[in-house]
Amino acid sequence: MDRMITVNVELGERAYPIHIGADLIGQTALFAPHIAGSSVTIVTNTTVDPLYGDTLRAALAPLGKLVSTVVLPDGEAHKNLGTLNLIFDALLGSRADRKTTLIALGGGVIGDMTGFAAACYMRGVPFIQVPTTLLSQVDSSVGGKTGINHPLGKNMIGAFYQPQAVIADIGALRTLPARELAAGVAEVIKTGAIADADFFTWIEANIEALNRCEPGALTEAVKRSCEIKASVVAKDEREGGLRAILNFGHTFGHAIEAGLGYGEWLHGEAVGCGMAMAADLSVRMGYLDDAARRRLVDVIIAAHLPTKAPALGERRYVELMQVDKKAEAGAIKFILLKRFGETLITQAPDAEVHATLAAAV
Protein backbone atom coordinates (compact mmCIF):
# COMPACT_ATOMS: atom_id res chain seq x y z
CA MET A 1 0.00 0.00 0.00
CA ASP A 2 1.30 3.52 -0.82
CA ARG A 3 1.66 5.97 2.02
CA MET A 4 -1.68 6.20 3.82
CA ILE A 5 -2.58 8.95 6.28
CA THR A 6 -5.18 8.57 8.99
CA VAL A 7 -7.04 11.48 10.58
CA ASN A 8 -9.20 10.71 13.60
CA VAL A 9 -12.52 12.40 14.28
CA GLU A 10 -12.59 12.65 18.08
CA LEU A 11 -16.21 12.16 19.11
CA GLY A 12 -15.90 9.93 22.16
CA GLU A 13 -17.66 6.63 21.62
CA ARG A 14 -18.62 7.79 18.11
CA ALA A 15 -14.99 8.52 17.14
CA TYR A 16 -13.87 7.21 13.75
CA PRO A 17 -10.87 7.20 11.42
CA ILE A 18 -10.57 8.85 8.01
CA HIS A 19 -8.05 6.93 5.92
CA ILE A 20 -6.58 8.93 3.02
CA GLY A 21 -4.34 7.57 0.26
CA ALA A 22 -4.14 6.10 -3.23
CA ASP A 23 -5.92 2.88 -4.19
CA LEU A 24 -7.59 2.25 -0.83
CA ILE A 25 -10.91 0.90 -2.19
CA GLY A 26 -9.24 -2.46 -2.86
CA GLN A 27 -7.73 -2.83 0.63
CA THR A 28 -9.60 -5.55 2.55
CA ALA A 29 -7.78 -4.69 5.79
CA LEU A 30 -9.27 -1.19 5.89
CA PHE A 31 -12.84 -2.53 5.84
CA ALA A 32 -12.42 -5.58 8.07
CA PRO A 33 -12.38 -3.83 11.49
CA HIS A 34 -15.59 -1.92 10.73
CA ILE A 35 -17.89 -4.74 9.60
CA ALA A 36 -19.25 -6.67 12.57
CA GLY A 37 -22.32 -8.39 11.13
CA SER A 38 -22.67 -11.06 8.47
CA SER A 39 -23.93 -8.85 5.63
CA VAL A 40 -22.96 -5.70 3.74
CA THR A 41 -25.01 -3.59 1.36
CA ILE A 42 -23.09 -1.31 -0.98
CA VAL A 43 -25.05 1.76 -2.08
CA THR A 44 -23.72 3.38 -5.23
CA ASN A 45 -24.94 4.83 -8.53
CA THR A 46 -24.96 4.07 -12.24
CA THR A 47 -21.76 6.11 -12.82
CA VAL A 48 -19.59 4.92 -9.93
CA ASP A 49 -20.57 1.24 -9.80
CA PRO A 50 -18.96 0.42 -13.19
CA LEU A 51 -15.80 2.31 -12.14
CA TYR A 52 -15.17 1.05 -8.60
CA GLY A 53 -17.91 -1.42 -7.65
CA ASP A 54 -15.93 -4.53 -8.63
CA THR A 55 -12.80 -3.33 -6.78
CA LEU A 56 -14.84 -2.84 -3.61
CA ARG A 57 -16.65 -6.18 -3.96
CA ALA A 58 -13.26 -7.92 -4.49
CA ALA A 59 -11.91 -6.25 -1.33
CA LEU A 60 -14.92 -7.45 0.68
CA ALA A 61 -14.90 -11.03 -0.69
CA PRO A 62 -12.21 -12.41 1.68
CA LEU A 63 -14.32 -11.30 4.67
CA GLY A 64 -16.91 -13.99 3.89
CA LYS A 65 -19.91 -11.64 4.25
CA LEU A 66 -23.10 -11.66 2.23
CA VAL A 67 -22.55 -8.67 -0.08
CA SER A 68 -25.32 -7.01 -2.07
CA THR A 69 -25.31 -3.81 -4.14
CA VAL A 70 -28.00 -1.18 -4.66
CA VAL A 71 -27.34 0.91 -7.78
CA LEU A 72 -29.24 4.19 -7.68
CA PRO A 73 -29.80 6.66 -10.52
CA ASP A 74 -27.09 9.37 -10.62
CA GLY A 75 -27.66 13.00 -9.72
CA GLU A 76 -28.81 15.54 -7.17
CA ALA A 77 -32.31 15.34 -8.68
CA HIS A 78 -32.56 11.80 -7.26
CA LYS A 79 -31.56 12.76 -3.69
CA ASN A 80 -35.14 12.38 -2.52
CA LEU A 81 -37.55 10.22 -0.59
CA GLY A 82 -38.37 8.01 -3.58
CA THR A 83 -34.73 7.07 -4.13
CA LEU A 84 -34.14 6.64 -0.40
CA ASN A 85 -36.98 4.15 -0.44
CA LEU A 86 -35.14 2.07 -3.06
CA ILE A 87 -32.44 1.52 -0.43
CA PHE A 88 -35.04 0.42 2.13
CA ASP A 89 -36.70 -1.85 -0.46
CA ALA A 90 -33.35 -3.55 -1.09
CA LEU A 91 -32.52 -3.87 2.61
CA LEU A 92 -35.90 -5.34 3.51
CA GLY A 93 -35.91 -7.50 0.38
CA SER A 94 -32.58 -9.05 1.32
CA ARG A 95 -33.62 -9.38 5.00
CA ALA A 96 -30.85 -7.09 6.17
CA ASP A 97 -30.66 -7.08 9.95
CA ARG A 98 -29.52 -4.65 12.63
CA LYS A 99 -25.88 -5.54 12.09
CA THR A 100 -25.89 -5.08 8.34
CA THR A 101 -23.27 -2.52 7.34
CA LEU A 102 -24.07 -0.05 4.56
CA ILE A 103 -21.18 1.21 2.43
CA ALA A 104 -21.66 4.48 0.56
CA LEU A 105 -19.60 4.30 -2.64
CA GLY A 106 -19.86 7.61 -4.49
CA GLY A 107 -19.96 11.37 -4.12
CA GLY A 108 -21.82 13.50 -1.61
CA VAL A 109 -25.26 12.59 -2.96
CA ILE A 110 -24.67 8.87 -2.33
CA GLY A 111 -22.96 9.58 1.01
CA ASP A 112 -25.77 11.79 2.31
CA MET A 113 -28.51 9.36 1.24
CA THR A 114 -26.74 6.23 2.47
CA GLY A 115 -25.93 7.85 5.80
CA PHE A 116 -29.57 8.85 6.24
CA ALA A 117 -30.75 5.36 5.26
CA ALA A 118 -28.32 3.92 7.84
CA ALA A 119 -29.64 6.31 10.50
CA CYS A 120 -33.24 5.22 9.81
CA TYR A 121 -33.11 1.52 8.93
CA MET A 122 -34.12 -0.43 12.04
CA ARG A 123 -33.39 2.82 13.95
CA GLY A 124 -29.75 2.73 13.02
CA VAL A 125 -27.26 0.37 11.35
CA PRO A 126 -23.53 0.96 10.89
CA PHE A 127 -22.21 2.56 7.72
CA ILE A 128 -18.89 3.30 6.04
CA GLN A 129 -18.23 6.24 3.75
CA VAL A 130 -16.16 5.60 0.62
CA PRO A 131 -16.23 9.08 -0.96
CA THR A 132 -15.18 9.20 -4.61
CA THR A 133 -15.39 12.95 -5.38
CA LEU A 134 -13.01 15.56 -4.01
CA LEU A 135 -15.95 17.43 -2.49
CA SER A 136 -17.12 14.37 -0.61
CA GLN A 137 -13.56 13.52 0.54
CA VAL A 138 -12.86 16.98 1.95
CA ASP A 139 -16.31 17.84 3.17
CA SER A 140 -19.52 15.83 2.98
CA SER A 141 -18.24 12.42 4.17
CA VAL A 142 -16.86 13.91 7.38
CA GLY A 143 -18.98 15.22 10.21
CA GLY A 144 -22.13 13.13 10.18
CA LYS A 145 -24.62 15.36 8.37
CA THR A 146 -26.86 13.07 6.33
CA GLY A 147 -30.11 13.67 4.51
CA ILE A 148 -32.18 14.15 1.41
CA ASN A 149 -33.86 17.05 -0.40
CA HIS A 150 -37.54 17.97 -0.23
CA PRO A 151 -39.29 19.74 -3.11
CA LEU A 152 -39.51 22.78 -0.82
CA GLY A 153 -35.89 22.79 0.32
CA LYS A 154 -32.46 21.23 -0.13
CA ASN A 155 -31.14 18.93 2.63
CA MET A 156 -34.22 19.71 4.72
CA ILE A 157 -34.89 16.12 5.83
CA GLY A 158 -31.98 14.50 7.60
CA ALA A 159 -30.12 13.40 10.68
CA PHE A 160 -26.75 13.71 12.35
CA TYR A 161 -25.32 10.20 12.08
CA GLN A 162 -21.62 9.38 12.15
CA PRO A 163 -20.00 6.64 10.04
CA GLN A 164 -17.77 3.86 11.38
CA ALA A 165 -14.97 4.99 9.08
CA VAL A 166 -14.24 7.10 6.01
CA ILE A 167 -12.02 5.58 3.33
CA ALA A 168 -10.95 8.37 0.96
CA ASP A 169 -9.25 6.90 -2.09
CA ILE A 170 -7.33 9.65 -3.88
CA GLY A 171 -6.88 7.31 -6.86
CA ALA A 172 -10.64 7.44 -7.52
CA LEU A 173 -10.32 11.14 -8.35
CA ARG A 174 -8.50 10.28 -11.60
CA THR A 175 -11.84 9.63 -13.31
CA LEU A 176 -13.56 12.71 -11.93
CA PRO A 177 -14.65 15.32 -14.53
CA ALA A 178 -12.60 18.57 -14.27
CA ARG A 179 -15.64 20.61 -13.29
CA GLU A 180 -16.36 18.28 -10.35
CA LEU A 181 -12.71 18.44 -9.28
CA ALA A 182 -12.83 22.26 -9.25
CA ALA A 183 -16.03 22.15 -7.18
CA GLY A 184 -14.13 20.14 -4.57
CA VAL A 185 -11.20 22.56 -4.65
CA ALA A 186 -13.69 25.31 -3.70
CA GLU A 187 -14.28 23.58 -0.36
CA VAL A 188 -10.51 23.18 0.13
CA ILE A 189 -10.04 26.93 -0.44
CA LYS A 190 -12.90 27.62 1.97
CA THR A 191 -11.31 25.48 4.67
CA GLY A 192 -7.95 27.21 4.37
CA ALA A 193 -9.53 30.68 4.31
CA ILE A 194 -11.61 30.22 7.45
CA ALA A 195 -9.28 28.19 9.60
CA ASP A 196 -5.60 28.20 8.68
CA ALA A 197 -3.59 30.99 7.05
CA ASP A 198 -0.62 28.67 6.40
CA PHE A 199 -2.85 26.14 4.65
CA PHE A 200 -4.33 28.97 2.56
CA THR A 201 -0.80 29.99 1.49
CA TRP A 202 -0.08 26.33 0.66
CA ILE A 203 -3.22 26.22 -1.54
CA GLU A 204 -2.11 29.34 -3.41
CA ALA A 205 1.27 27.71 -4.11
CA ASN A 206 -0.23 24.35 -5.12
CA ILE A 207 -3.36 25.32 -7.00
CA GLU A 208 -1.99 24.16 -10.37
CA ALA A 209 -0.97 20.79 -8.88
CA LEU A 210 -4.51 20.40 -7.53
CA ASN A 211 -5.97 21.34 -10.92
CA ARG A 212 -3.76 18.66 -12.49
CA CYS A 213 -5.00 16.11 -9.95
CA GLU A 214 -1.48 15.36 -8.64
CA PRO A 215 -1.76 12.67 -5.95
CA GLY A 216 0.72 14.28 -3.52
CA ALA A 217 -1.07 17.64 -3.61
CA LEU A 218 -4.50 15.99 -3.38
CA THR A 219 -3.47 13.86 -0.40
CA GLU A 220 -2.19 16.93 1.47
CA ALA A 221 -5.32 18.95 0.60
CA VAL A 222 -7.69 16.16 1.72
CA LYS A 223 -5.66 15.51 4.89
CA ARG A 224 -5.52 19.15 5.98
CA SER A 225 -9.19 19.79 5.09
CA CYS A 226 -10.29 16.70 7.03
CA GLU A 227 -8.14 17.64 10.04
CA ILE A 228 -9.72 21.06 10.15
CA LYS A 229 -13.26 19.81 9.62
CA ALA A 230 -12.73 17.03 12.18
CA SER A 231 -11.53 19.50 14.80
CA VAL A 232 -14.48 21.85 14.19
CA VAL A 233 -16.96 18.95 14.31
CA ALA A 234 -15.35 17.55 17.49
CA LYS A 235 -15.99 20.90 19.20
CA ASP A 236 -19.51 21.40 17.81
CA GLU A 237 -21.03 18.21 16.41
CA ARG A 238 -24.58 19.55 15.99
CA GLU A 239 -23.86 23.06 14.75
CA GLY A 240 -24.65 24.94 17.93
CA GLY A 241 -22.20 27.66 16.97
CA LEU A 242 -18.64 27.13 15.75
CA ARG A 243 -19.56 24.61 13.02
CA ALA A 244 -21.41 27.35 11.17
CA ILE A 245 -18.04 28.82 10.06
CA LEU A 246 -17.85 25.90 7.60
CA ASN A 247 -20.66 27.67 5.76
CA PHE A 248 -18.38 30.52 4.61
CA GLY A 249 -19.49 31.39 1.07
CA HIS A 250 -22.61 29.26 1.44
CA THR A 251 -25.16 32.00 2.24
CA PHE A 252 -24.61 33.66 -1.14
CA GLY A 253 -23.82 30.27 -2.70
CA HIS A 254 -27.11 28.66 -1.70
CA ALA A 255 -28.98 31.68 -3.09
CA ILE A 256 -27.18 31.22 -6.43
CA GLU A 257 -27.96 27.48 -6.52
CA ALA A 258 -31.60 27.93 -5.57
CA GLY A 259 -32.11 31.01 -7.77
CA LEU A 260 -30.72 29.38 -10.90
CA GLY A 261 -32.40 26.05 -10.13
CA TYR A 262 -30.33 23.27 -8.58
CA GLY A 263 -27.97 21.61 -11.01
CA GLU A 264 -27.28 24.66 -13.17
CA TRP A 265 -24.15 25.51 -11.16
CA LEU A 266 -22.42 22.84 -9.10
CA HIS A 267 -22.52 23.41 -5.35
CA GLY A 268 -18.76 24.06 -5.25
CA GLU A 269 -19.03 26.60 -8.09
CA ALA A 270 -21.69 28.48 -6.16
CA VAL A 271 -19.53 28.34 -3.03
CA GLY A 272 -16.54 29.69 -5.00
CA CYS A 273 -18.55 32.70 -6.15
CA GLY A 274 -20.22 32.97 -2.73
CA MET A 275 -16.81 33.23 -1.04
CA ALA A 276 -15.82 36.08 -3.35
CA MET A 277 -19.09 37.83 -2.40
CA ALA A 278 -18.64 37.19 1.33
CA ALA A 279 -15.09 38.57 1.11
CA ASP A 280 -16.42 41.67 -0.68
CA LEU A 281 -18.97 42.18 2.12
CA SER A 282 -16.22 41.64 4.71
CA VAL A 283 -14.20 44.47 3.11
CA ARG A 284 -17.24 46.78 2.88
CA MET A 285 -17.96 46.23 6.58
CA GLY A 286 -14.37 47.05 7.49
CA TYR A 287 -13.32 43.60 8.71
CA LEU A 288 -11.00 42.47 5.91
CA ASP A 289 -8.35 44.36 3.96
CA ASP A 290 -8.76 44.48 0.21
CA ALA A 291 -5.40 42.82 -0.49
CA ALA A 292 -6.61 39.67 1.32
CA ARG A 293 -9.89 39.73 -0.64
CA ARG A 294 -7.87 39.96 -3.86
CA ARG A 295 -5.74 36.95 -2.86
CA LEU A 296 -8.90 34.93 -2.21
CA VAL A 297 -10.47 35.96 -5.53
CA ASP A 298 -7.23 35.15 -7.40
CA VAL A 299 -7.08 31.63 -6.02
CA ILE A 300 -10.80 31.04 -6.79
CA ILE A 301 -10.14 32.15 -10.40
CA ALA A 302 -7.00 29.97 -10.57
CA ALA A 303 -9.16 26.99 -9.56
CA HIS A 304 -11.38 27.68 -12.62
CA LEU A 305 -14.32 28.64 -10.44
CA PRO A 306 -16.72 31.50 -11.20
CA THR A 307 -16.45 34.81 -9.31
CA LYS A 308 -19.12 36.69 -11.23
CA ALA A 309 -22.59 36.08 -9.81
CA PRO A 310 -25.64 35.37 -11.97
CA ALA A 311 -28.00 38.35 -12.31
CA LEU A 312 -30.97 37.13 -10.27
CA GLY A 313 -31.91 40.61 -9.05
CA GLU A 314 -31.02 41.97 -5.63
CA ARG A 315 -34.49 41.39 -4.15
CA ARG A 316 -34.47 37.77 -5.22
CA TYR A 317 -31.05 37.21 -3.65
CA VAL A 318 -32.27 38.65 -0.34
CA GLU A 319 -35.45 36.52 -0.43
CA LEU A 320 -33.41 33.40 -1.08
CA MET A 321 -30.91 34.19 1.66
CA GLN A 322 -33.75 34.70 4.14
CA VAL A 323 -34.80 31.06 3.78
CA ASP A 324 -31.21 29.84 4.32
CA LYS A 325 -30.99 27.40 7.28
CA LYS A 326 -28.73 29.86 9.14
CA ALA A 327 -31.29 32.67 8.98
CA GLU A 328 -33.17 33.27 12.21
CA ALA A 329 -36.69 34.77 11.91
CA GLY A 330 -35.72 36.06 8.45
CA ALA A 331 -32.55 37.82 9.67
CA ILE A 332 -29.68 36.74 7.43
CA LYS A 333 -26.48 35.61 9.15
CA PHE A 334 -23.27 36.07 7.18
CA ILE A 335 -19.99 34.31 7.81
CA LEU A 336 -17.39 36.99 7.17
CA LEU A 337 -13.62 36.95 7.09
CA LYS A 338 -11.40 39.09 9.30
CA ARG A 339 -8.17 37.61 8.01
CA PHE A 340 -7.16 34.18 6.73
CA GLY A 341 -7.89 31.83 9.62
CA GLU A 342 -10.35 34.11 11.41
CA THR A 343 -14.08 34.55 10.81
CA LEU A 344 -17.05 36.20 12.42
CA ILE A 345 -20.77 35.52 12.12
CA THR A 346 -22.94 38.59 11.93
CA GLN A 347 -25.89 40.32 10.35
CA ALA A 348 -25.09 43.05 7.81
CA PRO A 349 -26.72 46.40 7.02
CA ASP A 350 -28.98 46.29 3.94
CA ALA A 351 -26.94 48.97 2.17
CA GLU A 352 -23.73 46.91 2.38
CA VAL A 353 -25.47 43.71 1.26
CA HIS A 354 -26.99 45.52 -1.72
CA ALA A 355 -23.61 47.04 -2.61
CA THR A 356 -22.03 43.57 -2.58
CA LEU A 357 -24.84 42.16 -4.73
CA ALA A 358 -24.56 45.05 -7.19
CA ALA A 359 -20.78 44.64 -7.46
CA ALA A 360 -20.93 40.86 -7.88
CA VAL A 361 -22.85 40.55 -11.15
Q: Which residues are near ligand NAD by CB under 6 A? A: 45, 47-48, 51, 74, 76, 79, 106-110, 112, 132-133, 135-136, 139-140, 143, 145, 155, 172, 175-176, 180, 183, 267
Residue 79 or 284 having the CB closest to ligand NAD: 79
* Set 78, 79, 180, 187: catalytic member: 187
Residue 139 or 283 having the CB closest to ligand NAD: 139
CB of 21 to ligand NAD, least distance (A): 15
8-state DSSP, 163: -
SS3 257: helix
Residue 106 or 272 having the CB closest to ligand NAD: 106
SS3 string, the chain, reads CCCCEEEEECCHHHCEEEEEECCCCCCHHHHHHHCCCCEEEEEEECCHHHHHHHHHHHHHHHHCCEEEEEEECCCHHHCCHHHHHHHHHHHHHCCCCCCCEEEEEECHHHHHHHHHHHHHHHHCCCEEEEECCHHHHHHHCCCCEEEEEECCEEEEEEEECCCCEEEEEHHHHHHCCHHHHHHHHHHHHHHHHHHCHHHHHHHHHHHHHHHCCCHHHHHHHHHHHHHHHHHHHHHCCCCCCHHHHHHCCHHHHHHHHHHHCCCCCCHHHHHHHHHHHHHHHHHHCCCCCHHHHHHHHHHHHHCCCCCCCCCCCHHHHHHHHHCCCCCECCECCEEEEEECCEEEEECCCHHHHHHHHHHHC
Active site residue 212: no
Residue 143 or 259 having the CB closest to ligand NAD: 143
* Set 250, 284, 293, 333: catalytic member: 250
* Set 45, 190, 247, 333: catalytic member: 247
Active site residue 257: no
CB of 112 to ligand NAD, least distance (A): 5
Greatest Cα pair distance, the chain, in angstroms, is 64
* Set 78, 190, 267, 293: catalytic member: 267
CB of 291 to ligand NAD, least distance (A): 29
> Residue 96 is which amino acid?
A
Active site residue 254: yes
Q: At what angle do helices 178-195 and 267-284 cross, to 10 degrees?
A: 30
* Set 254, 284, 293, 333: catalytic member: 254
Residue 51 or 312 having the CB closest to ligand NAD: 51
* Set 239, 314, 319, 352: catalytic member: 239
Active site residue 267: yes
Active site residue 304: no
CB of 224 to ligand NAD, least distance (A): 17
Residue 212 or 294 having the CB closest to ligand NAD: 212
CB of 281 to ligand NAD, least distance (A): 22
Active site residue 354: no
CB of 223 to ligand NAD, least distance (A): 18
Residue 267 or 333 having the CB closest to ligand NAD: 267
The C-alpha torsion from 41 through 47 and 50 to 56, rounded to 10°, is: -40
CB of 227 to ligand NAD, least distance (A): 16
Cite the active site residues: 123, 145, 187, 229, 239, 243, 247, 250, 254, 267
